[in-house]
């Protein structure tokens, strides 16, 4: 099972994010699946996830998310990732890391917890400054 779950995570980031294949969301995200850490409330189901996905992809060019390492425990897999892209509005190159922990049931994402370094991302694009953090 761990090889399947590892492959699922690599495929998720490659298809959904790197290739921009939105239809893979419908295929891989359970209709009742929940994604945490991408907003104030959990995103439930593919249709709730897609607005976040579209907004994020629309602001970034040449997005490349590499899965650097995976760890599995039964139905759970954690993927340590590096995100590289160009922020479209500012033309700034961005690079930050993150971890996604996902529960996979019957080949679909049923729950996912996202811990990405959006602080670094927002500093890199100038949305916030280091002085604002003090």
Domain with 116, as residue range(s), is 2-129
pTM: 0.92
Give pLDDT, residue 1. 56
pLDDT band at 134 (very low <50, low <70, confident <90, very high): confident
Predicted confidence (pLDDT) at residue 83 exceeds the cutoff of 60: yes
> Buried b vs exposed e over 9-31: b needs ≥16 C-beta within 10 Å?
beebbbbbbeeeeeebbeebbbe
Helix (H, G, I), strand (E, B) or coil at 1: coil
- Find the DSSP H helices in the chain: 2-12, 23-28, 46-59, 118-124
Task: Write out 35-60 in H/E/C secondary structure.
Answer: EECCCCCCEECHHHHHHHHHHHHHHE
Mean pLDDT of 18-26: 97
Asked if residue 134 belongs to a domain, the reply is no
Give pLDDT, residue 2. 75
89: domain CATH number is 3.10.450.50
Mean pLDDT of the chain: 95
- Per DSSP bridges, beta strands 29-36 and 108-116 are parallel
Domain count, the chain: 1
pLDDT in tens, 92-101: 999 999 999 9
Predicted confidence (pLDDT) at residue 47 exceeds the cutoff of 70: yes
Q: How far apart are CA 85 and CA 93, in angstroms?
A: 6
Asked if residue 7 belongs to a domain, the reply is yes
């Amino acid at each position: 099972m761990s090889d399947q779950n590892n492959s699922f995570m690599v495929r998720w980031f490659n298809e959904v994010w790197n290739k921009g294949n939105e239809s893979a969301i419908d295929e891989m995200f359970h209709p009742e699946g929940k994604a945490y850490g991408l907003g104030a409330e959990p995103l439930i189901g593919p249709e709730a996830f897609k607005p976040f996905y579209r907004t994020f992809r629309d602001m970034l060019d040449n997005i490349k998310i590499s899965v650097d390492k995976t760890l599995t425990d039964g139905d759970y897999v954690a993927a340590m990732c590096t995100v590289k892209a160009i922020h479209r509005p500012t033309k700034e190159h961005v690079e930050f890391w993150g971890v996604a922990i996902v529960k996979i049931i019957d080949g679909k994402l049923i729950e996912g917890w996202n811990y990405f370094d959006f602080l670094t991302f927002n500093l890199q694009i100038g949305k916030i400054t280091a002085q604002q953090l003090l």
